[in-house]
Amino acid sequence: MSERSVLGDGTRVVRAGLPPAVPGQPFLPGPVFAAPYHLDPATGPVPGRDGYGRTDNPTWRALESAIGDLEGGECVVFSSGMAAITAVLLTVLRPGDTVVLPADGYYRTRALAAQTLAGLGVTVREVPTAGRYPPFDGVALVLLETPANPGLDVCDIAALASVAHGAGALVAVDSTTATPLGQQPLALGADLVVASGTKALTGHSDLVLGYVAGPALDPIRNWRNGTGAVPGPFETWLAHRSLSTLDLRLARQSATAAAVADLLATRPEVGSVRWPGRPADPAYPVASRQMRRIPGIVTFTLPDAAHVARFLGATRLVGAATSFGGPHTTADRRAQWGDPVPDGLVRLSCGLEDTADVVADLTAALDTAAGSG
């Protein structure tokens, strides 16, 4: 039995990617800032030795080792989640190919497809995360996003991968919302995992990062090296430092999300509540068997944009901000970004505050917003 299967998640995230213990050296070496490195004056560049900062950095490699261990494959880190998604789409797809994208996933991915892929001669099909999915005959790539952002629908990765592979398609999973502790797409049959490390993975709202994970990533790495979509060493080091608390952060955020979803389900002004951990949620049957943790995100609908503004204005602990997975509870009215969702749909990201305090603050803010409408 491997060490990876023996150790618990909390232990794994604390130790992932750390170098061997050497007396006098830190647990996690600091970031290496370098554009050029010293070359041998006689031999010049040597494979396996750092030569230039766009392609070589030991701080990247340490983080890639850590995330690769958590995902169960190799890892290549990027300057953002969108850079990682772009690398997958433009590395895998060729003119004449067909790609299937989530109709309810991250809106920037759909915009990239419409603005870039279609112009390159790639046929783009959009399908809701919950399905139904059409036959995959002639499809080169199926990109899933599960749980979907912002609606939190969940799809059965293993079942979809089996059908897609039977038709000759590759499967990539955007697992940003879940993180590698929430689900293991590669173990469920996916060929690639793509994610934004900006959000819950690093969880401090202080960096922008992305990554691709999979069994053989030389084409992805070559794409990054050729296009220069590289992360900064300090951001990379911050990300690695932040991994050690991932297990603890997810536990608090998920517990708070469960309590918040229960509260919202009792409110007459709330039109819908989505959190895949609730037995009443449509995604629960798949999420309960596929996911190891449910993320700390709750999506719900208030009557309109004005009601959302009153609600956010009345809170003390909820910041109006986009992104999710950080230490502070935040809320985001998704229609303001162009998502095709109801005007009053709110994506609430539960932070690390005490659960009881968040619930009390939301209750008071909901009461105020409803009473002043």
* Catalytically active residues, by annotation: 54, 106, 174, 199
What SS3 class is residue 333? strand
- The phi, psi pair for 355, rounded to 5°, reads -55, -45
Give 178's contacts (C-beta < 8 A, 6+ positions apart). Answer: 146, 147, 291, 293, 295
CA distance 127 to 104: 8
Q: For residues 311 and 363, is the Cβ–Cβ distance under 8 A?
A: no
Alpha helix (H) residue ranges in 244-338: 246-264, 284-290, 305-314
Burial of 316 (0-12, 13-18, 19+ CB in 10 A): exposed
Give the distance from CA 3 to its chain's centroid: 26
Dig out the tokens for 44 from the structure. Answer: 């010049």
For residue 132, whether the previous peptide bond is cis, meaning omega lies within 30 degrees of 0, is yes
Q: How far is CA 4 from CA 9, 11, 117, 249, 273, in A?
A: 9, 10, 38, 21, 36
CB 95 within 8 A of CB 122: yes
DSSP for 277-295, written as a single string: TSTTSTTHHHHHHH-SS--
Give the count of beta carbons closer than 10 Å to the beta carbon of residue 37: 14
